[in-house]
Amino acid sequence: MDEPFGALDEITREQMGLEVLRIWNETRKTIVFITHSIAESVFLSDRVVVMSPRPGVVRANIVVDLPRPRDATVRGMPRYVEHCQEIRGQLGLMG
């Protein structure tokens, strides 16, 4: 899925994220989800692969160890924030 929620407003985007999690819960199928949203990547994923700019190479492979099933309360967990900060750091956005 290549940025499937990119053109959506924030409320619809969050609803669609919850729908993806619901579908995953039922099917347990692997989903490759490409996004520029750090928060979205951490919320939806078990693993986030951070890519560098051109040429694109893997900069980091981060295991997201948040509990499942997930709902909006996950976004308030300290571990969620830590994962987001780790990704920001990998992208050079922390300073």
Domain boundaries, given as residue ranges, for the chain? 10-90
- Of residues 54, 58, 5, the one with CA closest to residue 33: 5
16-61: per-residue pLDDT in tens?
999 999 999 999 999 999 999 999 999 999 999 999 988 999 999 9
> Residue 69, preceding bond cis, omega within 30 degrees?
yes
pLDDT at 53: 87
Are 7 and 45 a contacting pair, CB within 8 Å?
no
pLDDT band at residue 94 using 50, 70 and 90 as cut-offs: confident
DSSP 52: P
Is the backbone of residue 42 left (phi > 0), alpha (psi -120 to 50) or beta?
A: alpha
